[in-house]
Amino acid sequence: MYGAMLGDMIGAPYEFDQGDKVKDFPLFIPSSQFTDDTVMTIAVAEALMGTRGKDDDTIRHALIASMRKWGRQYPHAGYGGNFARWLRTPDPKPYMSYGNGSAMRVSSAGWLGETLEEVRHLALLSAEVTHNHPEGIKGAEATASAIYLARTGAGKREIRRFITDTFGYNLTRTCDEIRPTYVHVESCQRTVPEAITAFLEGTDFEDVIRTAVSLGGDADTLTCIAGSIAEAFYGVPTPLAAECRKRLSNSILEVVDRFDECIGRKPVGAENPGQA
């Protein structure tokens, strides 16, 4: 999940088209802090870890409970209006959203599913508790599928072909073609293809992050999605993982470390404590 969280943190200062749309920028500045993207990534991971092998209703209930728990713990993380109301309402129901929130929080599904079919199903479940619009579900499934393919050895050509053939996203544009007219849009339709394109063009983990930020728009979420795929393909450099940990709370770090253990990975940078 480091890729998603780093994308969130590094992209956050440039959200709402606040950057210069360049790749040459400092990766970390004082405002490079996690937002709702990280909080909900953690919430989904915790729910999916705790319900492995369970039935769909159990997973859905766990997802709702976990999202609302973490939302209460971090009430000012920058949630969208509809999702903020969903967090507060006594009887939360999905609200036909096609926002990119379903894709930014889904990375754990790409790691926890043992097959592509299971990954897509977990992504669907994680999306539909709020984002039950077909485009919201598609964005989550496409992101999780790209992560699964990347972590299981698929090349970029294979990933591009699968995403295009299965989900119909246009991945023919280059980032240079996207960048000049790209603006802040919070839909899956206008975020997920751009994030995947940034991953496909990037030459290593850091370059993917820089490429995604340079597109502008909803930079924290776009880069969160691109970073989640880049982690699965390239891994995350230990110094960047350590910088990420410095900006996480102890409660979030506990889930991150448990997730690494769950997928059989040695916790990264565990010597760097989080904030109280």
For the record, the structure tokens of 48 come out as 């999916």
pLDDT in tens, 208-223: 999 999 999 999 999 9
Instruction: Give dist(CA 257, CA 267) in Å, integer.
Output: 6
pLDDT in tens, 14-71: 998 888 999 999 999 999 999 999 999 999 999 999 999 999 999 999 999 999 999 9
- 140 Cβ partners below 8 Å, 6+ apart? 102, 103, 106, 109, 123, 124, 126, 127, 131, 188
**Share above pLDDT 70 across residues of the chain, in percent, rounded to a whole number:** 97
Residue 28 falls in which region: left (phi positive, over 0), alpha (psi -120 to 50) or beta: beta
Instruction: Give dist(CA 179, CA 153) in Å, integer.
Output: 29
Is residue 97 within 8 Å of residue 104, measured between CB atoms? no
- Per-residue confidence band for 272, with pLDDT thresholds at 50, 70 and 90: very low
Query: Is residue 269 scored above 80 in pLDDT?
Result: no
pTM for this predicted structure: 0.96
CATH of domain 2-262: 1.10.4080.10
Is residue 178 within 8 Å of residue 211, measured between CB atoms? no
Could you identify the residue written with the tokens 């956050």? 12
For the record, the structure tokens of 10 come out as 């590094």
Quick one: pLDDT at residue 16? 85
pLDDT in tens, 104-154: 999 999 999 999 999 999 999 999 999 999 999 999 999 999 999 999 999
- Per-residue confidence band for 270, with pLDDT thresholds at 50, 70 and 90: very low
SS (H, E, C) the chain: CHHHHHHHHHHHHHCCCCCCCCCCCCCCCCCCCCCHHHHHHHHHHHHHHHCCCCCHHHHHHHHHHHHHHHHHHCCCCCCCHHHHHHHHCCCCCCCCCCECHHHHCCHHHHHHCCCHHHHHHHHHHHHHCCCCCHHHHHHHHHHHHHHHHHHCCCCHHHHHHHHHHHHCCCCCCCHHHHHHHCCCCCECCCCHHHHHHHHHHCCCHHHHHHHHHHHCCCHHHHHHHHHHHHHHHHCCCHHHHHHHHHCCEHHHHHHHHHHHHHCCCCCCCCCCCCEC
